[in-house]
Amino acid sequence: MTQEQDHISGAGAAGDVWAEPTATAILVLADGTVLEGFGLGAAGHAVGEVCFNTAMTGYQEILTDPSYAGQIITFTFPHIGNVGTNEEDIETVSMAGASGVRGVVLHSSITDPSNYRATRNFDLWLKARGIIGIAGLDTRALTALIRDKGMPNAVIAHAPDGRFDLPALKKEAAEWPGLVGMDLVPMVTSAQRFTWDETPWQWPEGYGRQTAPAHHVVAVDYGIKRNILRLLARAGCKVTVVPATTSAEDILALAPDGVFLSNGPGDPAATGEYAVPVIREIIARGVPTFGICLGHQMIGLAVGGRTMKMHQGHHGANHPVKDQTTGKVEITSMNHGFAVDRDSLPANAEETHVSLFDGSNAGIQLTDRPVFSVQYHPEASPGPQDSHYLFDRFVEMIAKNKKVA
Residues labelled as active-site residues: 293, 377, 379
Q: How far apart are CA 33 and CA 262, in angstroms?
A: 36
Q: Is 331 exposed, middle or buried (0-12, 13-18, 19+ CB in 10 A)?
A: middle
Question: Is the Cβ–Cβ distance between 169 and 157 less than 8 Å?
Answer: yes
Pairing assessment for the beta strands 289-292 and 371-374 based on DSSP bridges: parallel
Ordered DSSP codes for 109-127: -------TT--B-HHHHHH
Identify any residues that bridge with 40 across adjacent strands, giving them in sequence order. 133
Burial of 384 from C-beta contacts in 10 A (0-12 / 13-18 / 19+): middle
Kindly give, in sequence order, each residue whose CB lies less than 8 Å from that of residue 17, ignoring residues fewer than 6 positions away: none
The answer to whether the CB of 57 falls within 8 A of the CB of 90 is no
Which of helix, strand or coil describes residue 82? coil
Cα Rg for the chain, rounded, in angstroms?
23
Is-contact 205 248, C-beta < 8 A? Answer: no
CA separation (Å) from 32 to 189, 215, 266? 34, 54, 24
Residues 6+ apart with CB under 8 A from 70: 48, 49, 100, 102, 179, 182, 184, 265, 266
Q: What is the dihedral angle through the alpha carbons of 332, 333, 336, 338, rounded to the nearest 10 degrees? A: 0
Q: If you count them, how many residues does the chain have? A: 405
CA distance linking residue 311 with residue 150, whole number of Å: 5
What residues are paired with 336 via a beta bridge? 314
160: Cα within 13 Å, side-chain hemisphere: 4
